Chains A and B, each alone.
Chain A
Amino acid sequence: MATKIEELGGVGVCLHRKEDERFIRGKGQYLDDIKLPGMLHMEILRSPYAHAWIRSIDVSKAKALPGVVAVITGQDLAAHNLAWMPTMSGDTQAVLATDKVRFQGQEVAAVIAETPYIAKDALELIEVDYEPLPAVVDPKKALEPGAPLIRDDKPGQTTNHIYHWEVGDREATERAFREADRVVALETHYQRCHPAPLECCGCIADVNPATGKATIYMTTQAPHAVRTVFAMVTGYPEHQIRIISPDIGGGFGNKVPVYPGYVVATAASLLLGRPVKWVEDRTGNLISTGYARDFHMRGELALKGDRIIGLRVKVLGDHGAFYADAQPSKFKIGLFHICTGSYDIPAAFVEADGAYTNKAPGGVAYRCSFRVTEASFLIERLVQTAAYELGMDPAEFRRRNFVRKDQFPYRSALGWVYDSGDYHRALDLALEKLDYARWRREQEEARKQGRLIGIGIASFTEIVGAGPSHTFDILGLKMFDSAELRVHPTGKAVLKLGTRTQGQGHETTYAQIIASELGIPARDVEVQEGDTDHTPYGLGTYASRSTPTSGAAAAVVARRVREKARKIAAHLLEVSEDDLEWEPGRFYVRGAPEKGKTIQEVALAAYTNFPQGLEPGLEDVCYYDPPNLTFPFGTYAVVVEVDRGTGQWKPLRVVAVDDCGVRINPMIVEGQIMGGLCEGFGIAAMQQITFDEQGNCIGSNFMDYLLPTAWETPRFELYETITPSPHHPLGAKGVGESATVGSPAAYVNAVIDAMAHAGVRNIDMPLTPDKVRAALEEVGLAE
């Protein structure tokens, strides 16, 4: 017998997704599916060099090719002050190169033609005279005196140093390290990887010459912010810009930045008076768009007995040629200072430096939750290392140092107030489901037979829901988000939000919130996102922020609408508001429950029979400024077997316990977690973008940048604990990135655990077979 909430499809129900209907029929409307009359196609010419002067560009042959309508260079854009644009981190970035190219793959020119085939033909006819310069691809070398200066375009920039940033109490931390009876250190490079959503980036810019309205279809996770940035950069009036984010084939942070292609296509459309479509190819995506990570980290734990008394971290961030990552403006390295993780560490200090290198710009992407992937990885690898050094079981060491349940809300030494958590419970559940004790015995037995089995744990604390206006803004825009609800006379509703789904199931989950709060069945609520002309302002979907911000806004706006509905119901039932009770979907008179009005009846009345003096209609909008972030957490436990001959390893078990508070749609939540566990596996096992000494990019296509298939990807066993967020209206936290944040360390810890008894402590990701075998050889374990 279904409950009312189940019937309505409310919070907690595993409702099938409404958006599936079009996707399973092949009727999604992704960017490249859209065709406009008169549309032209743009292709971008990219630099083969990582660092070179541009002596000249000759586009005459390209222009002469039949079917070519225009060829645009940096000089053309410079005439309109568009050759450079601001980045989301307060730097500038070249749209099309003018003086120099600064990374291999950088945009140099664009051809606009009748077909993309012709555009590609024309690209081959553009003659660029490059004068190659020495390239620098190592951020340490980039900071050495005498290194080639990359950003000579910036007045006053005399080195490749971008920022120095500190957080925490340096004195207290130094003191802790002096008092420590043991210091455990780990140096590791979180490798450069890339979100690589299956759909590449692109746009269709349609500047209407008659009306002046610029409609830009764009693969963007943050349409409103992009509109405002466009307006500020180009001077084009904001009300004449409409950004439409259609169906997006995966974002993962790759579709947050404003890319040169978008700007050039818009300029071209303005120039030519016709729509211009630009869709990058996979090589363009991997070689030039927002990569992720590339953080060189050194972490140290100060230990007294089995307690961590201090954490000291030094970070060198490799930012490529332009400091262009999208993150809250106050924080140079995002939310990295969550790096005390799940542990009660009294003193901590982080210092970070950023460097330019001859690589593509980016850094904050790929479900990193604003650098939380890096932070979580570091602390979980440090904690594992400390356990080995102490000769302690890694699970027990974690237990001794976890923030305890009674300590919440917990203020960390680096300034965060964790809202709620129960780390011991998540760890215990994970180990119980794994049958930890049995696997430790298996490990022993296997070792005797010459086989290597390892068990890895990662107990992560995430920080999502950016964020409260007192701390969070991107380019000055505060990071609230929004929900606008309108109920129609026949009791159906439309809900519009400032976020933008790229597969996370918003069309379903937001409707479920309305179903629970207002009693309108989820199937009767249409969810709209992505069109800046028709949705309330918001900062978009990334960093797992949608549920914490717009999800909260949806709950709040539904409650506001319910309060107005109560007035109308009271009017209809001829009682006072105080005499009414509410059950999902219905007001009824206290003491006479058969006398009631459904929300549908109230909706109709809002247009046909509302009390005198009350404004007609039934709608409201909420701009939600979250009071705090939310802190999902969990424990992942992985068992692997390592091949002593080849260095290959494979997961035998992956157990995941996640706590993201109240789960609006548990099926969708689990889908997010499994996706993240797969990404974590890929990151740990095979994903990286590297460069040779000349700055040639190795990893600019899927033959070199490896993504796991269904064959390598392990099976996941998912469990949950539920510790609601005390400040979120639904008790929900975000979850989209938890598994990508937390799982790489679990896989790595597992492989290391297989060899730790012989003294192996670290292998940098990705743990490719050759690196694993090298570690085995070093300790005499190789076959």
Chain B
Amino acid sequence: MYPARFAYDVPGSVQEAVDLLGRYREEAKVLAGGQSLIPLMKFRLAKPARLVDINRIPGLNVLEEESGVLRIGALVRHRDVERSAFLRDRYPLLASAAPQIADPLVRNLGTVVGSVCHADPQGDWGSVMLALDAEVVAQSTRGERRIPVSRFFAGPLTTVLEPDELVTELRVPQPLARPFGTYLKLERKVGDYATVGVAVHLELEDGVVRRAGIGLTSVGPTNLKAQDAEAVLIGKALDDDVILEAARRAASAADPTSDVRGSAQYKREVVRVFVTRALRQARAARAA
């Protein structure tokens, strides 16, 4: 309940922030929503010597389309995504996932970027970003680096970020046409981590899949991209056998552990069930 002591800085610009991170590196942690970091600090599982609070930096709450991408700034809260009407149409996967993050109170403070940087394999946004082929934009005193999310996660709670880097935004490619997207999350209650989460993003043209993204939550050491499942969908219509095969491949791609939420086999079954349901939903939506 009582965090250890730390020094505290409130930079007023991205430049100030990266200067601080450049100077203090591993000793410093970025504080945005704090809804993952502060709980760890209260258990003293995290004891950063310094917190760099980026909440006062203007411009980091950008949430808009620009030059072919949707920009999600570092201070965009889960709640902002949940309430955005235009995202519901253009980015239905984002709209579907947002209300399922944690609980309403945590969503008021927690940030999308923060969640992705936290890199919890049980975190939902990572799978969503994998399904959307998003890109991480990281700033440091050395300049800007763009990292595809598919190469961002290195292991549980570990990313490829350098200690002096600050992620300022995520960039999601604009869909070609009106996409289908859904996030199916098996949680034992509101606020629980996913037992299994499946993010599906599809772009169809005349009933044929042009782009497919499938991200998996809580079934591996990181969020996983079910590439083989995605591949089998490209160029095909959503027939029963195509759906079956995609679901089967997604379940094989899962690498879950057995724990109190269920056996590894159970979790693979749920991946299969969820992918099947999502693809059937996409087919029904297209028919409607």
The reply, when asked whether chain A contacts chain B directly with Cβ atoms under 8 A, is yes
B190 on the A face (CB < 8 A):
yes
CB distance from A629 to the nearest CB of B (A): 36
Closest residue to B47 on the A side, CB-wise?
A124
B218 on the A face (CB < 8 A):
no
Total CB contacts across the A-B interface at under 8 A: 62
B119 on the A face (CB < 8 A):
no
Residues of chain B within 8 A of A647, CB atoms compared: 266
A708 on the B face (CB < 8 A):
yes
Residues of chain B within 8 A of A703, CB atoms compared: 192-193
Contact at A709–B2, with CB atoms within 8 Å? no
Residues of chain B within 8 A of A768, CB atoms compared: 188, 261-262
Max count, chain B CB within 10 A of own CB: residue among A117, A711, A770, A774: A770
Contact at A686–B270, with CB atoms within 8 Å? no
Considering only residues 110-145 of chain A, those with a C-beta below 8 Å from chain B are 116-117, 120-121, 124
B139 on the A face (CB < 8 A):
no
**27 interchain pairs (CB within 8 A)?**
A116-B1, A116-B2, A120-B1, A121-B4, A281-B1, A645-B277, A646-B186, A646-B274, A647-B266, A648-B186, A686-B189, A690-B260, A698-B260, A703-B193, A706-B188, A709-B191, A711-B190, A712-B189, A712-B190, A768-B261, A768-B262, A769-B188, A769-B262, A770-B195, A770-B262, A773-B269, A774-B266
Considering only residues 91-141 of chain B, those with a C-beta below 8 Å from chain A are 103
Considering only residues 174-201 of chain B, those with a C-beta below 8 Å from chain A are 186, 188-193, 195
Partner of B188, one of A116, A645, A686, A698: A686
CB distance from A194 to the nearest CB of B (A): 15
Closest residue to B269 on the A side, CB-wise?
A773
Q: How far, in whole Å, are A711 and B261 apart by their CA atoms in the complex?
A: 20
Contact at B195–A769, with CB atoms within 8 Å? yes
Residues of chain B within 8 A of A712, CB atoms compared: 189-190
CB distance from B284 to the nearest CB of A (A): 16
Q: How far, in whole Å, are A768 and B261 apart by their CA atoms in the complex?
A: 8
CB distance from A386 to the nearest CB of B (A): 31
Residues of chain A within 8 A of B44, CB atoms compared: 120, 124
Closest residue to B103 on the A side, CB-wise?
A709
CB distance from A278 to the nearest CB of B (A): 13
Q: How far, in whole Å, are A768 and B195 apart by their CA atoms in the complex?
A: 11
Residues of chain A within 8 A of B188, CB atoms compared: 685-686, 706, 768-769
Interface residues of chain B: helix, strand, loop or mixed (majority): loop
Closest residue to B1 on the A side, CB-wise?
A281
Given A121-B4, A124-B44, A769-B186, A645-B260 contact (CB < 8 Å): no
Per CB-CB distance, the 4 closest pairs between chain A and chain B, nearest first, are A770-B262, A645-B273, A120-B2, A770-B266
CB distance from A160 to the nearest CB of B (A): 25
How would residues 252 to 288 of chain B score, 1 for a CB under 8 Å from any chain A CB and 0 otherwise?
0000000011110010011001100100000000000
Given A120-B1, A124-B44, A769-B262, A709-B190 contact (CB < 8 Å): yes
CB distance from A693 to the nearest CB of B (A): 14
A581 on the B face (CB < 8 A):
no
A783 on the B face (CB < 8 A):
yes
Q: How far, in whole Å, are A768 and B188 apart by their CA atoms in the complex?
A: 8
Residues of chain B within 8 A of A783, CB atoms compared: 273
Contact at B273–A646, with CB atoms within 8 Å? yes
A704 on the B face (CB < 8 A):
yes
Q: How far, in whole Å, are A459 and B282 apart by their CA atoms in the complex?
A: 45
Q: How far, in whole Å, are A768 and B186 apart by their CA atoms in the complex?
A: 11
CB distance from A640 to the nearest CB of B (A): 16
Residues of chain A within 8 A of B260, CB atoms compared: 690, 698, 704
Residues of chain B within 8 A of A698, CB atoms compared: 260
Contact at B263–A770, with CB atoms within 8 Å? yes
Chain B residues engaging chain A, CB cutoff 8 angstroms: 1-2, 4-5, 44, 103, 186, 188-193, 195, 260-263, 266, 269-270, 273-274, 277
CB distance from A479 to the nearest CB of B (A): 37
Residues of chain B within 8 A of A690, CB atoms compared: 260
Q: How far, in whole Å, are A708 and B190 apart by their CA atoms in the complex?
A: 8
How would residues 55 to 74 of chain A score, 1 for a CB under 8 Å from any chain B CB and 0 otherwise?
00000000000000000000
Q: How far, in whole Å, are A770 and B262 apart by their CA atoms in the complex?
A: 5
Closest residue to A118 on the B side, CB-wise?
B2
Contact at B270–A646, with CB atoms within 8 Å? yes
Contact at B266–A709, with CB atoms within 8 Å? no
Q: How far, in whole Å, are A117 and B270 apart by their CA atoms in the complex?
A: 44
Residues of chain A within 8 A of B273, CB atoms compared: 645-646, 783
Partner of B189, one of A124, A709, A774: A709
Q: How far, in whole Å, are A685 and B190 apart by their CA atoms in the complex?
A: 13
Residues of chain B within 8 A of A709, CB atoms compared: 103, 189-191
CB distance from A135 to the nearest CB of B (A): 18
Contact at B262–A708, with CB atoms within 8 Å? no
Contact at B189–A773, with CB atoms within 8 Å? no
Closest residue to B192 on the A side, CB-wise?
A706
CB distance from B119 to the nearest CB of A (A): 18
Closest residue to A702 on the B side, CB-wise?
B191
CB distance from B118 to the nearest CB of A (A): 15
CB distance from A690 to the nearest CB of B (A): 7
How would residues 232 to 269 of chain A score, 1 for a CB under 8 Å from any chain B CB and 0 otherwise?
00000000000000000000000000000000000000
Other A-B contacts than A647-B266, A708-B189, 7 sampled, CB-CB below 8 A, are A117-B2, A120-B1, A698-B260, A709-B190, A711-B189, A768-B261, A769-B186
Considering only residues 738-782 of chain A, those with a C-beta below 8 Å from chain B are 768-770, 773-774, 782
Partner of B270, one of A116, A281, A645, A708: A645
Q: How far, in whole Å, are A665 and B103 apart by their CA atoms in the complex?
A: 35
Partner of B266, one of A704, A706, A773: A773
Closest residue to A704 on the B side, CB-wise?
B260
How would residues 161 to 203 of chain A score, 1 for a CB under 8 Å from any chain B CB and 0 otherwise?
0000000000000000000000000000000000000000000
Q: How far, in whole Å, are A686 and B188 apart by their CA atoms in the complex?
A: 7
Q: How far, in whole Å, are A116 and B2 apart by their CA atoms in the complex?
A: 8
Closest residue to B196 on the A side, CB-wise?
A646
Max count, chain A CB within 10 A of own CB: residue among B44, B190, B260: B260
Q: How far, in whole Å, are A357 and B192 apart by their CA atoms in the complex?
A: 29
Q: How far, in whole Å, are A709 and B191 apart by their CA atoms in the complex?
A: 9
Q: How far, in whole Å, are A770 and B186 apart by their CA atoms in the complex?
A: 11
Residues of chain A within 8 A of B266, CB atoms compared: 647, 770, 773-774
Residues of chain B within 8 A of A704, CB atoms compared: 260
CB distance from A714 to the nearest CB of B (A): 13
Residues of chain B within 8 A of A648, CB atoms compared: 186
